[in-house]
Amino acid sequence: MIRRVKYYTLICLTVLVVSVSNMHVHATQGHSQAMLTRQLNQLMKDELDLQGAIAGISIRSTESGEIIYDHQGDVRLRPASNMKLLTAAAALNVLGEDYTFPTEVHTDGLMKEKTLVGNLYLRGKGDPTLLKSDFDKMAEAVQKQGIKKINGNLIGDDSWYDDVRYSTDLPWSDETAHYGAQISALTASPTTDFDAGSVLVEVKPGTKNGEKPMVEVTPKTNYVKIVNHAVTVPTDGKKELTIEREHAKNMITIEGTIPIKAKNEKAWIGVWDPTRYALTLMKQSLSEHGITVMGKIKTGMVPDTAKILTTYQSMPLSKLLVPFMKLSNNGHAEILIKEMGKVVNGEGSWEKGLEVLETEITKFGVNSKTLVIRDGSGVSHVDLIPANQLSQLLFAVQKEKWFPLYLNSLPIAGAQDKMTGGTLRNRLKDPAVLRKVHAKTGTLSTVSSLSGYVETKSGQTLIFSILLNNLLDDKIGKQIEDRMVQLLANTY
């Protein structure tokens, strides 16, 4: 009987200790939350640069999803590239982490000795990562089939998607920039940043005053024509260069001055008609592998009677997510939207793809009726999302099996490697937050945003979404975001 009493007493004491401990934890959290609220409110009050601007802020617990702090969290605001958080989640859910984009080589002709009598078709299915080296691989595969001459045309088939090249609200001023490049199911990228539909133009100063600077284009191609009016000036001169493509043409004009020994100037320029751009690179690769195309470069559809010669597969979506999210690639976002439309609704268009996006995000508890979605990248100034809906998405995706890939794709604060730190590699370098923030950045004229996860000094992780609109200077917006995130890390 005495043993039972002692045992019962021990249980009661244990329960009491646990209860007191839990009360202490809740009290500590409550104190931290109250302090956080006071400090965030004070920051918002003191921040003169926000006067006249609109801020939507939502802070959630990663464990319970409870909103810890809310400042106009239900107000619809322009998210800029925070829109990509929705696109990436929907794509992982619909397409899957192992999804790839094939590029196919077909022919409708017959072999006679080493001549292909007929046409060669290059059929794109959305791969945004095709490099010149990949066209070389496809040309090599054609060469291995004994083909030395193509007595026909080289035809590009981009019909996997519709022929609408720009999203509804893309500003005309973005047309020649890599982040506003045309969307096609058959396209090419200049480098492993995979800015599909663009070329890299690099201007190097001459060795003497008055000389024209040297210009290199990557990939090396005659698809674009360079008109160089720039001049090399003395070392104490000004570096004032413009590199612009003429509307509806592939003529790139370089104007201005570059001092001797100055750093090279780089510009990624979106080309006009990425389908023909890809075909030009393919023809070049065929030539370099000893294959002559006797006909012309054209666009058209692969006939049903054609046979496939080779297929090149892209990297899986799990790997594509890294340049997509880390570098905030608009082209990848819009391709994923069209691909979801093609896979689910049989039509590779923005309309059908956005229908899929809206359906998918509701599975994460996001109320699509509170949103305005016009594209997958956030380049539109018409897109509208409340901060509370973004933080809800970031809470819900934690339960998905693909969440580690999603988290890994987000830029990491202060991590210097480009494909690790991404657009946060030069921000949030303070020891309290260095490499402790995984978040998606966003920038448009008058808009700055930052949403993701931050590890606090107590070892907890918080979800946050900060949307700043109507800013006079988006650089100031980023400074405000960084102060808020540092406050979260140091206070909670």
Backbone angles phi, psi at 106, to 5 degrees: -120, 165
Catalytic residue, candidates 58, 198, 328, 465? 328
Catalytic residue, candidates 84, 125, 338, 352? 84
Helix (H, G, I), strand (E, B) or coil at 96: coil
Q: Count of alpha carbons within 13 Å of 399, Cβ hemisphere only? A: 10
Of 325, 462, 329, the closest CA to residue 395 belongs to: 462
Give the pairing type, strands 154-157 and 149-150: unpaired
Tokens of 180: 């506003």
Q: How many CB atoms lie within 10 A of CB 313?
A: 10
Of 139, 138, 107, the closest CA to residue 121 belongs to: 107
Q: Residue 430 in contact with residue 486, Cβ under 8 Å?
A: yes
Identify each DSSP E strand in 86-170 by its residue range.
102-107, 110-112, 115-117, 120-124, 149-150, 154-157
| 3-state DSSP helix/strand/coil % of the chain, to nearest 5 | 35, 25, 40
Catalytic residue, candidates 58, 81, 167, 391? 81
133 given a catalytic annotation:
no
Residues 6+ apart with CB under 8 A from 305: 108
Q: Can you tell me the distance from the alpha carbon of 136 to that of 129, in angstroms, rounded to the nearest whole number? A: 14
Q: Can you say how many angstroms the Cα of residue 424 is from the centroid of all Cα atoms in its chain?
A: 13
Q: Can you tell me the distance from the alpha carbon of 47 to that of 463, in angstroms, rounded to the nearest whole number? A: 22
380 given a catalytic annotation:
no
Q: Residue 201 in contact with residue 269, Cβ under 8 Å?
A: yes
Q: Can you tell me the distance from the alpha carbon of 205 to that of 164, in angstroms, rounded to the nearest whole number? A: 39
Range 229-261 burial, b when 16+ CB lie within 10 A, else e: ebbbbeeebeeebebebeeeebebebebbbbbe
318 given a catalytic annotation:
no
Q: What is the largest CA-CA distance in the chain?
A: 104
Q: Residue 221 in contact with residue 281, Cβ under 8 Å?
A: yes
- Which residue numbers are catalytic? 81, 84, 328
